[in-house]
A and B are shown apart, each in its own frame.
Chain A
């Protein structure tokens, strides 16, 4: 019923929308999400015919192109067929009119009925959104934010429109009011075409069936809301979800590097994308169906960096790894948890080629790894458990950071030096001559681990295997190192295999979790789901054993009481 084809909007030189295609039928609900400035509101205003910029393309409603419709006709349609709830609750109401009168006005414009009839309908409408007679006669400033929002909804619904556009409808409401309003919205949008413009993912999830992710005037991903949120496939969508503080999110918040630039050639997101390739800055990717989801990405969405299939490894007669299947995606952290001896470290060493595999395939960026050459090691790097041992005690900071570059013979001496300082800066270490000449034993554990991370980064890897990278550090240093790793992931799109036995730690840093027991992966999935609903008994035990320190300290504190009251 509502068709948008190649919709483009420009304000002067700035292109705000760059070719939007959407198709909505009666009863469809679509949320449009994205950062501020992505063009969400402009899209809504376009449908209302309220955009003043240069508009091209088509917005067809019931067969009529709204962009070519005269202002006269549009005015007749607005409110009656297409209504919008505006973003700013404070400004949308006239402060000197009673709200009942304001709603009556909306009815009066489109309906040729008597004043008493209009008043009656307005009252009924307000009652339906939960505002009784007293409130109906109030002025806007006498109402709370939630009540004003209700007024706006009732105003939009006054003429029973076919299309309802909600622009950030709950932005300024508290959680309880939001929940009430959400209920109201749900009944309001039933049977209509609804477009929910928001950056609030929980609102989008609660209201809509479908979701479109808008970036710099382009739809980058479109699909069912629940699928899109649980399994984002475009890097930008994942970035949005990662920066949204949901109650089910366990990983620390991560942002999206850089800022939105309009009018970039090629893929609009390529400047901030960590998996861009050459074509991304040249050609705009079309929105196409990839594995059941509409994605606009030259690389087909988030790429799997490393795939491990049917990997086996045994030492003499002892099985260390048995049929391991694991996929690591670009920019994601997979935690490998399990007790010691479960084969976590063995797996990471087999991937790195420190042990040979017996059977199975390791596929890096679509190509099977047959021998581990310089090209492999420049894409996959490892951080070891004990930083002071992984950096030779006979190398000073500079030698240590230069080592990978020397081994791979990257550039000349000058270039290597520049690169070394660059990566030291990356890990927030100084690169003064004094510091460069220090030896590992002259640094703190945290500093040496940073040096080790800098070494691993020097070759510009896409995959980082971190084998208990913080177990030798105290909690405050650990926190800093983890923060650093997550920042680097955000900046460079590092995929990480995070090997740890600390499930509480894994919970904070990983997107996915794989639980290992006796050389097998017994459970794998999104971290929050696995940890809140562990299916395998071993996972359940791990989670129980990893409960917080609060309970333990309580138990200890209670003991004296019990002892003092015998019997």
Chain B
């Protein structure tokens, strides 16, 4: 009985629903130009137009097509999520693992840095920094990564510390294995669920934070973002435009976040053979 993470993923109802939500959003993001005839920046000539054949979700206060803004907003969200997940967990992995393996003053230095960073309330600092810098999407990604790696690094370090003392690592060493073999065959596989969980958490937080910053109006004004769309829509709640402006945007954002959460949950179960046992028992 091999572990087949992808087959298991498809068999798991929660993971499958998470995956389909993300697939839907990704589909929207990737095929945005094909799905809409209008550029998200262009004035269509009509403001507050209700949904019609031309404009599935109508137009907003600036006469822009809401459907195409929603599609391009998905691109921003997913790109930010993906980039922050990679960057932040790479930082966490590198600093956490090297600290655990090298130890000494190097380890102490980084762990104190982590302590210091964790004690800073990220959101508030981000708002302050963003308010000054008006960051573009790339700067935003870098900023968010810089603020989100410390928690992960601490987890990775403690995991590697305990993993390298595991008996199967000792056993591998008694076969004459070098650190490369041990890192690849023994430590990384055991780290994988944590890294995956970490990445998904980072991604989720990035989506949420990007939307939040945009909502507060402190990110680059030229960026198309669900957060900004919601902020703009909120100004017109007295009209019934919120029905096709605020609700779809909020739904898209929620779908992304919930999709990420579900996927993370499903992946964790699929990657750990010990959890499979319980799953089987539950199925029986």
* Chain A residues at the B interface, C-beta cutoff of 8 Å: 349, 352-354, 372-374, 376-378, 381-382, 384-386, 389-396, 403-404, 407-408, 437-439, 441-442, 452, 455, 459
With known contacts A382-B171, A390-B170, A391-B168, A407–B273 Cβ distance under 8 A: no
Bound-complex Cα distance A386 to B170 (A)? 12
Find out whether the CB atom of A452 lies under 8 angstroms from the CB atom of B176.
Answer: no
Against A, the Cβ 8 Å flags (1 = close, 0 = not) of B254-282 are 00000000000000000001100100000
Find out whether the CB atom of B181 lies under 8 angstroms from the CB atom of A393.
Answer: no
Find out whether the CB atom of A407 lies under 8 angstroms from the CB atom of B166.
Answer: no
Q: Which residues of chain B (179-202) have a CB below 8 Å from chain A?
A: 181, 185-186, 189-190
Find out whether the CB atom of B176 lies under 8 angstroms from the CB atom of A374.
Answer: yes
Find out whether the CB atom of B174 lies under 8 angstroms from the CB atom of A381.
Answer: yes
- Of A385, A393, A396, which one neighbours B2 at CB under 8 angstroms? A396
Beyond the given A384-B171, A392-B186, A393-B274, could you list 16 further A-B residue pairs with CB under 8 A, ordered by the A residue number?
A: A353-B173, A354-B170, A372-B176, A376-B176, A385-B167, A386-B167, A390-B170, A392-B185, A393-B273, A394-B189, A395-B168, A407-B175, A437-B1, A439-B1, A439-B273, A442-B277
Query: Would you call B86 an interface residue if the criterion is a C-beta within 8 Å of the partner chain's C-beta atoms?
Result: no
Most buried by B among A374, A391, A393: A393
Find out whether the CB atom of B176 lies under 8 angstroms from the CB atom of A391.
Answer: no
Bound-complex Cα distance A382 to B176 (A)? 12
With known contacts A390-B167, A403-B185, A442-B1, A382–B274 Cβ distance under 8 A: no
With known contacts A394-B273, A441-B274, A382–B174 Cβ distance under 8 A: yes
With known contacts A372-B176, A404-B175, A441–B167 Cβ distance under 8 A: no
Find out whether the CB atom of B173 lies under 8 angstroms from the CB atom of A373.
Answer: no
With known contacts A389-B167, A390-B170, A377–B175 Cβ distance under 8 A: yes
Bound-complex Cα distance A538 to B174 (A)? 32
Bound-complex Cα distance A408 to B172 (A)? 11
With known contacts A377-B176, A437-B1, A438-B1, A455–B189 Cβ distance under 8 A: no
Find out whether the CB atom of B171 lies under 8 angstroms from the CB atom of A455.
Answer: yes
Q: How many Cβ-Cβ contacts under 8 Å join chain A to chain B?
A: 78
Query: Which residue of chain A is the closest to B166 with respect to CB atoms?
Result: A389
Bound-complex Cα distance A378 to B176 (A)? 8
B191 to A: closest C-beta gap in Å: 11
Query: Would you call B23 an interface residue if the criterion is a C-beta within 8 Å of the partner chain's C-beta atoms?
Result: no
Query: Which residue of chain B is the closest to A391 with respect to CB atoms?
Result: B168
Listed by A's residue number, 19 A-B pairs whose Cβ atoms lie within 8 Å are A354-B174, A377-B174, A377-B176, A381-B174, A381-B175, A382-B174, A389-B167, A390-B168, A392-B186, A393-B274, A395-B168, A396-B1, A407-B172, A407-B177, A437-B2, A438-B1, A439-B273, A441-B277, A442-B277
Count class of interface residues, chain B: 20 to 34
Query: Which residue of chain B is the closest to A388 with respect to CB atoms?
Result: B167
Find out whether the CB atom of A394 lies under 8 angstroms from the CB atom of B176.
Answer: no
Against A, the Cβ 8 Å flags (1 = close, 0 = not) of B11-39 are 00000000000000000000000000000
A408 to B: closest C-beta gap in Å: 6
Bound-complex Cα distance A439 to B189 (A)? 15
Find out whether the CB atom of A407 lies under 8 angstroms from the CB atom of B274.
Answer: no
List the 7 closest A-B pairs by CB distance, nearest first. A377-B176, A404-B175, A392-B168, A389-B167, A390-B167, A407-B175, A374-B176
Bound-complex Cα distance A5 to B175 (A)? 51
Query: Which residue of chain A is the closest to B2 with respect to CB atoms?
Result: A437
Find chain A residues with CB under 8 A from B273 CB: 393-394, 439, 441
B186 to A: closest C-beta gap in Å: 6
Find out whether the CB atom of A407 lies under 8 angstroms from the CB atom of B167.
Answer: no
Bound-complex Cα distance A404 to B171 (A)? 9
- Of B171, B177, B189, B274, which one neighbours A390 at CB under 8 angstroms? B171
A438 to B: closest C-beta gap in Å: 7
Find chain B residues with CB under 8 A from A354 CB: 170, 173-174
Find chain A residues with CB under 8 A from B1 CB: 396, 437-439, 442
Query: Which residue of chain A is the closest to B182 with respect to CB atoms?
Result: A407
Bound-complex Cα distance A455 to B2 (A)? 20
Query: Which residue of chain A is the closest to B189 with respect to CB atoms?
Result: A394
A64 to B: closest C-beta gap in Å: 64
Bound-complex Cα distance A394 to B189 (A)? 7
Most buried by A among B170, B174, B273: B174
Most buried by B among A349, A374, A404: A404
Find chain A residues with CB under 8 A from B277 CB: 441-442
- Of B2, B167, B177, B274, which one neighbours A384 at CB under 8 angstroms? B167
With known contacts A354-B170, A390-B168, A394-B190, A373–B274 Cβ distance under 8 A: no
- Of B171, B175, B177, B274, which one neighbours A391 at CB under 8 angstroms? B171
